[in-house]
Structure 1
Amino acid sequence: MAETLTDEAIEQLRDALRAVGSADFFEVYKAFFSARIAFGTFLMLRFDRDQPPLLIDHWIEPEKLIGRPLEDYMESSYAFDPFYLYRSPPEGGGLYRLADIAPDRFFSSEYYLQYYRGTGLCDEVGLLAPLKDGGIAHVSLSRRDEQGPYRRGELRNLQGFAPLLLELLAQHCNAVAPACPAQPAAARPAPSDAIRDHARDQLGVSLTLREAQIAGLVLQGHSNGSAAKLLNVAAETCKVHRRNLYRKLVISSQRELFGVFKHLL
């Protein structure tokens, strides 16, 4: 490990293991991180495909962030979150920096500029731990502008402990956050369906499935090339669909696209 496994670290990990499945786990688990790295938010959630996140517990440094970032995230903004959208962590889980898993144009996307940076956050590290029933446990540690981005040494230190921290997270969430039975009527529609329905019903615009899919990917921070790879089409084909999308909506920029559909994703 990057850090020697000191007696203090062993005791903190033992405390976390003893607290798995109990109301004490969150604070004990957070304390292990606090002793090694500074952060402005510490969130623990469960992700399930096509369902809103389940907030298990959270800590946000009081009166430091702008607006109501947690409420906005839980209501709708999670649909743009690269951690929520990342569905293929390895079997044992992983620890990632936001930049490691974000789409190629994420940092110029309107979500990042308006929502993420607008709250006063500048960087994020997250753990993603697959659960036995198919869900994913997630812990997010965000840094504020005043704290600056994470440094390489800090991340190397956390990576050394990652296997233990991921296992503890998975065990706790398996115990306290079982998957809810699927409720088809309450499940969120696919982003492309929501986009097409809104365009048809509210704007009087008929979008093709491909145009709606591209709209969703662009909003999440994908370039034409990245979206084309995900959809298995040629990059030029993706450009044509995007031009047609903008023409139908009478817009000319990603910012305008974000304004039209941000509440749907």
Structure 2
Amino acid sequence: MSDTLTDLAVGQLRNALRAVGSPDFFEAYKAIFSARMAFGTFLILRFDPGQRPVLLNRWIEPEKLLGRPLEDYMEGSYGFDPFYLHRNLPEGGGLFRLSDIAPDRFFSSEYYLRYYRGTGLCDEVGLLAPMSNGGVAHLSMSRRGEQGAFRRGELRYLRTYAPLLLELLLQHCEAAAPPPSAQPISARPPLADIIRAHARDRLNINLTQREAQIAGLVLKGHSNGSAAKILDIATETSKVHRRNLYRKLVISSQRDLFGVFKHLL
């Protein structure tokens, strides 16, 4: 695949630039990508500080995905999304593939198996651009299993022109007002707090703060070692907390843990 911009591509970029902040931007922006690659979903979101994600625009291939993935995402499963959680961004933002930023056990987590792969999706790339309010502008583009993963040439094209694509995305998300149906709603409390409160109030089980933190990280797809690094504790200490967590809940696996707390997602 050539990385040289054709006259058509230049025209598409010009159209998107002219439409920044207007209702015409989404289709103009999507055309830049659809001319180069297939995808099953194409979403523009804003991750504002302390708020749930705001969905600015969406396109989902009609009648191709299973279940209600977007509804589940907006209702709460966004808290497990590696793109939503990724905040270590370079100046100007960047292009990321799901496999590059996901926790080390994400692809064997119950969340991934049930809420991601279960919908029929198999791969995702995203643009993440820091906004002036401290939030993040996000483009999510996913592929279905039948379409296969994003190809090397497609990723090379996206990486080559990421600075321009990121700037267009950022300028639009800064300028565009959220639709009336998508006004910001306060984000949920940290997952560890939700888990600890549910265990105490509904299960009559007292989890320590560390045990609840471990539970949340395991559900997000982190191994003992990865959780230990995030919490700045030793891996063996992480293992002890996990064993104590499982003992209190009378479970023996990550799948069991998901079963106890899945309704909190």
TM-score relative to the length of structure 1:
0.95
User: By how many angstroms is 1:252 displaced?
Assistant: 0.8
CA distance 1:49–1:208, shift in 2 (3 Å): farther
In structure 1, give the amino acid aligned to 2:94: G
- Residue 16 of structure 2 aligns to a residue whose secondary structure is helix
* Count of residues in Structure 1 that have an aligned counterpart in Structure 2: 262
Give the aligned partner of residue 70 of structure 1.
Answer: 70
**Which residues of 2 match residues 201-240 of structure 1 at below 5 A?**
201-240=201-240
Structure 1 residue runs of 5 or longer lacking an equivalent are: none
Q: 1: distance between equivalents of 2:9 and 2:183?
A: 38
Query: For each residue in 1:117-149, what CA deviation from the matched residue of structure 2 results, as whole angstroms up to 9, or x when unmatched?
Result: 100000001110111111101111100010011
Q: 2: distance between equivalents of 1:172 and 1:120?
A: 30
Give the aligned partner of residue 79 of structure 1.
Answer: 79
User: By how many angstroms is 1:52 displaced?
Assistant: 1.3
**Which residues of 2 match residues 1-265 of structure 1 at below 5 A?**
3-177=3-177, 186-265=186-265
User: By how many angstroms is 1:50 displaced?
Assistant: 3.6
In structure 2, give the amino acid aligned to 1:144: R
Structure 2 residue runs of 5 or longer lacking an equivalent are: none
- Residue pair 1:47, 1:138 contacting (<8 A) in 2 also: yes
Query: For each residue in 1:77-102, what CA deviation from the matched residue of structure 2 results, as whole angstroms up to 9, or x when unmatched?
Result: 11111001101211101111100100
In structure 2, give the amino acid aligned to 1:148: G
Q: 2: distance between equivalents of 1:49 and 1:256?
A: 32
User: By how many angstroms is 1:187 displaced?
Assistant: 4.1
Q: 2: distance between equivalents of 1:2 and 1:231?
A: 44
User: By how many angstroms is 1:263 displaced?
Assistant: 3.2
- Residue pair 2:54, 2:183 contacting (<8 A) in 1 also: no
In structure 2, give the amino acid aligned to 1:169: L
Q: Where does structure 1 differ by over 3 angstroms across 4 or more consecutive aligned residues? A: 180-183
User: By how many angstroms is 1:49 displaced?
Assistant: 3.8
Query: For each residue in 1:133-191, what CA deviation from the matched residue of structure 2 results, as whole angstroms up to 9, or x when unmatched?
Result: 1110111110001001111111001111100000000000001147x9998xx442111
Identity %: 75
- Residue pair 1:46, 1:177 contacting (<8 A) in 2 also: no
Q: 1: distance between equivalents of 2:96 and 2:110?
A: 22
Q: 2: distance between equivalents of 1:171 and 1:49?
A: 18
- Residue 264 of structure 2 aligns to a residue whose secondary structure is coil
Query: For each residue in 1:29-66, what CA deviation from the matched residue of structure 2 results, as whole angstroms up to 9, or x when unmatched?
Result: 00100001110000111113442111101000000000
TM-score relative to the length of structure 2:
0.95
